[in-house]
Chains A and B, each alone.
Chain A
Amino acid sequence: MKRISNAFVFASLVAALAGCATKPADDGQLVQARAAIAQAEADPNVTKYAPTELDRARKLLINAEGAAKEKGATNVNTSHYAYLATQTAHVAEQRAHEQVAGARLKAGEVERQKILLSARENETQQAQAVATQARNELQNAQAETAQAQQEAQRLAAQLENVQASQTDRGLVLTLDDVLFDTGRAELKSGAQRSLEQIAAFLSEHPERNVQIEGFTDNQGPDDYNIELSQKRADAVAMAIIRRGVDAQRVRAMGYGEEFPVASNDNSGSRQLNRRVEIIVSKDDKAIPARAGAGAP
């Protein structure tokens, strides 16, 4: 009697457990499958990129719903199809994620090319700007040089007994020794017109500085020659200053027989060495010093 009752209780317990375990679990999986499909359907990327998978998931859900309506041992089929539907809906979502990421990669590559291109264009523009600037500077420099040459030529054409040339140190005006008597530092009257024109030129360019350098030939003692060349340079400086050029802009120095421009071997070349040079700066900069002693 007791045995029978025990067996009965056990059997009903097993039946109850089995009932509880299977029935609601199947419903749960159906609910889960419906939710998974609804979630996938709500994602526009899934309908766009994974319509086939989504469709398959829907059909599997229909199978599951159909199995749930059948009587008898259909619980296994219901949960099986519900599971397949759920997983397939997830597959649809992952496929969509993959495609979305792929599209972003493509767009990113396009963006990368765009950035590189614009950077390259930027660089090209900068290089062009640099080149244009360099060209302009060169043209300006060439124009300045040409202008300076013209200036020197124009001035030289106006001056008697004065040679004008454009050098690295500036405009150099060389006064011949015929403007001085031998051994004397006073300018002869023939120099007046040229000096007036030089002073006028300097007045036109008040920013320029002037350096006056006297030279002699190699005849006679050095001290004498240096003194004579200094006096001649001073005389030219005084003449220019008297004609209205600010004394601040003028420097005078005598080099004696240094820096000859000819050999001193004959009277002709000695005459070339006896000279006064007036160096006019290119602009408001100082005039560079003479580079070392030596014959040309």
Chain B
Amino acid sequence: MITLSGIRNALWCVVAFGIVACAATPMPADKIAVAKSSVDRAEQAQAAQFAQVELTTARNKLAAAQSAAEHRDAELAARMADQADVDAQLAESTARAKQQEQLVTEMDASLRDLREEATRHSGAGATTPQPQTSSPQQ
């Protein structure tokens, strides 16, 4: 026996199922956007020069995420986007670290020069060290 309320319940079920189905399969556009902005940041941090491998990995994974989204594979798209995000973060942080370390190397060299010059200047005013002219006789 089919009652009115039974039909209504069945209808609700269909609607609910539809919502759940729709909720489970939306493409992870937000994750892809996050990954994309991370890749952009890495590029701005000159990762192409200082963290090429990491940046390439991030770009490839971002492309994989976009391709998966086009093929309606939400799960793979989300995974690839998340991985592209951390890869891009690594590319960015590596590039920044390398640039800073390069600056440190340059600074060390310039400090060394500066120190030498300062000693030479003060040495010229006071006591000039005598050059060693005689070699030890054996």
List residues of A whose CB falls within 8 A of some B CB: 76, 80, 83-84, 87-88, 90-91, 94-95, 97-98, 101-102, 104-105, 108-109, 111-112, 115-116, 118-119, 122-123, 126
B104 touches A95 (CB 8 A): no
List residues of B whose CB falls within 8 A of some A CB: 79, 82-83, 86-87, 89-90, 93-94, 96-97, 100-101, 103-104, 107-108, 110-111, 114-115, 117-118, 121-122, 125
Bound Cα distance A14, B115 (Å): 69
A83 touches B83 (CB 8 A): yes
Chain A residues lying within 8 Å of B114, measured Cβ to Cβ, are 112, 115-116
* Nearest Cβ on chain B to A125's Cβ, whole angstroms: 8
Q: Chain B at the A interface: mostly helix, strand, loop or mixed?
A: helix
Smallest CB gap from A88: residue in B: B86
B97 touches A97 (CB 8 A): yes
Chain B residues lying within 8 Å of A111, measured Cβ to Cβ, are 111
B96: contacting residue among A83, A94, A108, A112, CB under 8 A: A94
A98 touches B97 (CB 8 A): yes
A84 touches B115 (CB 8 A): no
Chain B residues lying within 8 Å of A115, measured Cβ to Cβ, are 111, 114-115, 118
* Nearest Cβ on chain B to A85's Cβ, whole angstroms: 9
Q: Chain A at the B interface: mostly helix, strand, loop or mixed?
A: helix
Bound Cα distance A87, B93 (Å): 11
Bound Cα distance A123, B83 (Å): 59
Bound Cα distance A98, B90 (Å): 12
B111 touches A108 (CB 8 A): yes
Chain B residues lying within 8 Å of A91, measured Cβ to Cβ, are 86, 89-90, 93
Chain B residues lying within 8 Å of A112, measured Cβ to Cβ, are 107, 110-111, 114
